[in-house]
Chains A and B, each alone.
Chain A
Amino acid sequence: MRPILLKGHERPLTFIKYNADGDLIVTCAKDHHPTLWYADTGNRVGTYIGHNGAVWTADITRDSKTLATGSADTSCKLWDVGSGVCFQTFQFDQPVRAVSFAIGDEKMLITTDPFMGVNAAIHIVEITKNREEQTSKILKTISGDGIVNGRLNRVAWGALNETFLTAGEDGVLRVWDVETGKVLHEARDAHKGKPIQHLELSADKTHAITASLDKTAKIFDAQNLELLKTYVADRPVNAAIISPIREHIILGGGQDAMAVTTTSSKAGKFDSKIYHKIFEEEIGGIRGHFGPINALAFCPDGKSFTSGGEDGYARIHHLDNTYFDIK
């Protein structure tokens, strides 16, 4: 397998998102320009110019027409995917950390970081079908005061848009009620208090995978947060994804960026690790990055995945028969 290297970013990658059809990839990095690529060839389609800070997150609507990005410049922007034109900006007083479109793309969740004495918060906004009617009005804000400690790194809608899940720096996984804004369930000791870097739901929204700096990734029931599986790695885990077609998961991570210069790249454990989802055992690894992996995303067809590293590269892996022959 010869991975395709995407060299468009000048700073560490933060987030990668495929569209629903699996033909486009959006990469976010600490430079200010989220970038759109073709998933098969890796050719760059364009960059979204307008943010003035590190871009932490992105999400694409089901019809692949609208892109939402959240940035440390305290704004969340909506873009036309094909032309790179920003048509709406949600302005906050705190950096935006995570965004997520609801099923049906009529609502969107935005989380903002704790900043200047204000705690982390979750905002719900409405996305209108007609772009001319789109406003920057915020429907509802759920404050994390007294509940959340630290940043909320990821947010994801639960089944039927009735709940949403959050995970963050305090290492606690929570299920919230969208209507009341109350916490329904929480897994306090999900990751021994270590930050959860990534949270993602399976395609059918029945279970969620978390990746944490406590060197594990775990799968929880998305409704009652019952711990189902634990994948033990030998490195802090920054990202974990579930294969849409096989009983596999992929983790990526690596030692802290701070410790990178004092160890060799081999000792840094910058490879993506494939684990068996059910048996929790390691199947293999794919090397390539020379910095910790910050982001992973599976193509919806399950035949390729993309990783993004602290080294500023994204790599598209079109998996070959050595992967598909694994029993």
Chain B
Amino acid sequence: MAIAEPQTTSKKEDDEISLADSDDMGVDDDAAFALPPTKIEIDPSTGIKTVTEYRVKEDGSKVRSIKRVKVHKVSKTVTKEMLERKNWARFGDAARYKTGDESMTAVSLEEIFLERARLQPKSELEKANDPLKAMASSQTSLLVCRICGKKGDHWTTKCPYKDLAAMGDKPPGSDGPGGDKAGGGAGGYVPPSRRAGASAGEGDSMNRRREENSVRVSNLSEDTREQDLQELFRPFGPVTRIYVAFNRETGESRGFAFVNFVNRDDGQRAIDRLDGFGYDNLILRVEWSAPREERR
């Protein structure tokens, strides 16, 4: 047997308007007497109930509060047994607590999204349109990476060992096991900073990576989140980092963000398309971010 158990959820919007200064509702000894009655209106098309109330604050000023409530009814079918189980007494470690007293259950503060995997057909389409890629596949001899010397795999600018090469080192694997050179003995732990390919200025490389293909987005609305930008910029190409600037004290958005692209071309296309783009009633400004100056 199934019985319906309606569940009610409601959303409230409070909106307070002070009417203390209005002439017709001046401060009065018998203030409550002069207050207009509470009004309840129900909009039949949307189902939103509007409750208008008037009250007097402690300091004598009058306040009109408008409460808009929308009731969502979610009905769920439960069996008799399930209803019975709902009323089970707590047992074991849980018996010490009353219902709702425990702190064993919490709702995640963070909104968790289903992060969609990059769709395959799209990238294939891009491949077909990319003249460089087409050249790479037809004339393999033309394509030699100047950094790692690999033929026909990638262009010098897209070499995966680019960062290592800048530090004057060959890619791992091309000069024997990297760990040996760095000392520390065989099999021992070698910290990343001592490993081959991380000799000098690894902090510098971090910064460089951060500034590489970085696009500055400004005039964002306050409630823009990383996720929104991800949706906005992902179609242009792979994105390595999205950073939305927040005010540390108030937690409010500062209205700008940085988006790093893997490929500079993707970044340029994003700028061409999105600079001046209307987003959340604001006109976005999208530009290459200027290299960060030394902090004073």
Contacts and interface: CB of A to CB of B under 8 A. Distances in A.
A64 B82 CA distance: 10
B108 A47 contact: no
A3 interface: yes
Contacts of B91: 45-47, 82-84
A271 B114 CA distance: 10
B68 to A, nearest CB: 23
Interface in B163-218: none
Contacts of B81: 21, 63-64
Contacts of B103: 7
Given A23-B82, A64-B81, A5 B106 contact: yes
Nearest to A4: B107
Nearest to B79: A21
Interface string A20-40: 010110000000010101100
B8 interface: no
A115 interface: no
Nearest to A3: B108
Contacts of B113: 1, 286, 322
A286 B102 CA distance: 27
Contact of A46 (B94, B99, B105, B108): B94
A92 interface: no
Nearest to A49: B92
Nearest to A5: B106
A283 interface: yes
Nearest to A282: B117
A290 interface: no
Given A7-B106, A8-B104, A287-B112, A46 B85 contact: no
Nearest to B103: A7
A41 interface: yes
Nearest to A42: B105
Contacts of B78: 23
B81 to A, nearest CB: 7
A44 interface: yes
Interface string B115-147: 111001000000000000000000000000000
Contact of A4 (B95, B106, B111): B106
Interface in A226-252: none
A35 B92 CA distance: 9
B90 interface: yes
B29 interface: no
16 contacts: A2-B107, A2-B108, A7-B103, A23-B82, A42-B105, A44-B94, A44-B105, A46-B90, A46-B92, A46-B93, A48-B92, A84-B91, A286-B114, A287-B115, A288-B108, A317-B112
Interface of A: 1-8, 21, 23-24, 33, 35, 37-38, 41-49, 63-64, 82-84, 271, 274, 281-288, 315, 317, 322-323
